[in-house]
Amino acid sequence: MGAGPVALLLGMSTGNLMIAGVMQRLGIRSAYIIGVGVAAFGWISAGFVQGLVQFMSAMALAGFGIGMATIVPGIALISQTFHKRKGLAMALFIGACGFASATMPMLSSELIGALGWHRTFWAMGVVTALACLFLLRKWPRGIKDEPGDSAAQDHAQKRGLGRKETFRLPAYWMLAFALTLSQLCMNGVLFNTIAFLRKGGFDQATAVRIYGIANFMSLPGLMIGGYVSDKVNARLLLPIILLLQAIGTAGLLGIGSPIWNPYAVVVFALIWGGVAGLPAQAGSMLLGEIIGQRAYTAMLGVVFTINGFVGAMAPALVGWAYEKTHGYAWPISMLALFCLLAAAASLFCRSGHEPNGTTFAAPAH
């Protein structure tokens, strides 16, 4: 059962790593077409599979295309073209991705019930291809095709550290460490919340409702966070976000207590849910402040690849800790502590410098 998602994740991670080179050589529109085409081919192929190896191959293809056509190129395009409202634009983009992730499982379940899984995969492939045709005219061939001051955009693209310089920059690895820990903790909670709430005495319907409210809160949280991030430096904002994630995670420890139950639910749903999408948004902005735009897409892809691999281990690690301790208190406590560690690590993310000594930090608004 887990082979398909693992192959999908591996494909997405590979796509995240390769997208920078493809964009540099062919342009963002061509990279988008290739990514969508591979994803559509993967979904359609999945409808014809006859065995596990074929299914994993189809999922890997779909994941590779998704990685090339979604998060990394989308954030890179926003980072290099939106200047006055970059944080809000990035928040809207991540929120849309989160909304799709929350609704697609339900839609897929309905489609499988109505069409069967073969036709559902075919339908997904066709819809993916049609979406590409619909959006194709909206995508620029390259960053320079966007309206605005082309000279300023050229200068912004050339400013920044190269890949080798970034790999030697401690602040980059501190940011990658902080975001990876945050993603590990986010997934550890995300995939175990309903089981934890059931263990705390809630029935299935109530547990699902609380989980749904927490997920919904990420949308207004992203809007507020995106607006604030256009006013406040990301280096100051990210530690606060990770601290709030730690508080929201620790709030789960009150579940099961007759006295603390309602407060624990509110803290978890409002605080944890409210910041669920913000580490990726603030972290992506902080990366631009640290290294500039020259190697931004490639280095963002590396961070997201690390996040994907390590974050995928979270459900298994929490399950292992639960089996060892016969409860969720210890794993939840450790996740909250890891969030605090991530917040502390993010304090050491300092902007890089150009040879003349100037920094890449965004100007104050």
pLDDT digits (tens, 9 = 90+) for 209-242: 888 888 888 888 888 888 888 888 888 999 999 9
- Token pair of 306, please? 């690390």
The strand pairing partners of 167, in sequence order, are none
- Token pair of 3, please? 């082979």
> pLDDT at residue 353 above 60?
no
Q: What is the pLDDT of residue 144?
A: 53
Q: Work out the pLDDT band at 140, boundaries 50, 70, 90.
A: low
Q: How far is CA 58 from CA 9, 45, 77, 109, in A?
A: 12, 6, 28, 19
- Measured in whole angstroms, the distance separating CA 185 from the mean position of its chain's CA atoms is 13
> pLDDT at residue 102 above 60?
yes
CATH architecture of 3-152: Up-down Bundle (1.20)
The 3 state secondary structure assigned to the chain is CCHHHHHHHHHHHHHHHHHHHHHHHHCHHHHHHHHHHHHHHHHHHHCCCCCHHHHHHHHHHHHHHHHHHCHHHHHHHHHHHCCCCHHHHHHHHHHHHHHHHHHHHHHHHHHHHHHCHHHHHHHHHHHHHHHHHHHHCCCCCCHHHCCCCHHHHHHHHHCECCHHHHHCCHHHHHHHHHHHHHHHHHHHHHCCHHHHHHHCCCCHHHHHHHHHHHHHHHHHHHHHHHHHHCCCCHHHHHHHHHHHHHHHHHHHHHCCCCCCHHHHHHHHHHHHHHHCCHHHHHHHHHHHHHHECCCHHHHHHHHHHHHHHHHCCHHHHHHHHHHHHCCCHHHHHHHHHHHHHHHHHHCCCCCCECCCCCECCCCCC
Question: What is the rounded distance in angstroms from the CA atom of residue 4 to the CA atom of residue 17?
Answer: 20
Domains of the chain, residue spans: 3-152, 163-346
Q: Work out the pLDDT band at 139, boundaries 50, 70, 90.
A: low
More confident call, 360 vs 251: 251
Question: What is the rounded distance in angstroms from the CA atom of residue 129 to the CA atom of residue 121?
Answer: 13
Q: Work out the pLDDT band at 152, boundaries 50, 70, 90.
A: very low
> pLDDT at residue 285 above 50?
yes
Q: What is the mean pLDDT of the chain?
A: 83
CATH architecture of 163-346: Up-down Bundle (1.20)
Q: What is the pLDDT of residues 43-54, one digit of tens each?
A: 999 989 888 888
Q: Do domains 3-152 and 163-346 have the same CATH topology?
A: yes
Q: What is the pLDDT of residues 59-70, one digit of tens each?
A: 899 989 988 888
Of 104-113, 131-140, 254-263, give the lowest mean pLDDT range: 131-140
Q: What is the pLDDT of residues 26-36, one digit of tens each?
A: 877 888 888 98
